[in-house]
Amino acid sequence: MKLLTLASTVTLAALALSGCMQANGAAVAPTGPDDLGKLAPPVPKDDRSHGDFQKMTGINGDAIAAISGTPAMSYIYYDPVAANHAALPNAPARLCQSYGKKLKTFRTTQPADRAIQPGMDVLAVQCSG
């Protein structure tokens, strides 16, 4: 019972943390998924290795399902429970850096196919320069 309570607490804390987004340096807690703006495209198939994902974002690669888009608008599809939460705030800038660009803005949202891919969050990242 004690283990179940601890696991539930950890899961709830992880979900609460993943619901926060950062826009231009200000932390904002959305009230629901649609308050985050447009949903990301459905989760794409991405055959790159977990090591590639980790190198591009700093997020542990086993938590990332895919990275899609272009430097102008990229999407990092990840499992918020499995992701290293210390790496999440720096992931958008690190992705832009992997493109040779600078971070313009980012937000947290969900994929359009969230009913088929439950539990997946998306960092929508815009790079510039």
What digits encode the pLDDT tens for the residues 13-41? 333 334 433 333 333 333 334 434 588 99
Q: How many CB atoms lie within 10 A of CB 124?
A: 22
d(CA 122, CA 79): 9
Q: Which helix (H) or strand (E) holds 51?
A: helix 50-57
pTM value surpassing 0.75: no
Residue-wise pLDDT tens digits, 82-101: 999 999 999 999 999 999 99
Reduce the DSSP state of residue 59 to 3 states and report it: coil
Mean pLDDT of 63-72: 94
- Indicate left, alpha or beta for 14 from its phi (over 0: left) and psi (-120 to 50: alpha): alpha
Q: By three-state DSSP, how is residue 127 classified? A: strand
The DSSP H or E segment spanning 74 is strand 73-78
69's CB contacts (< 8 A; 6+ apart) are 75, 125
Cα–Cα distance between 50 and 7 in angstroms, integer? 26
* Residue 122 near residue 40, CB atoms below 8 Å: yes
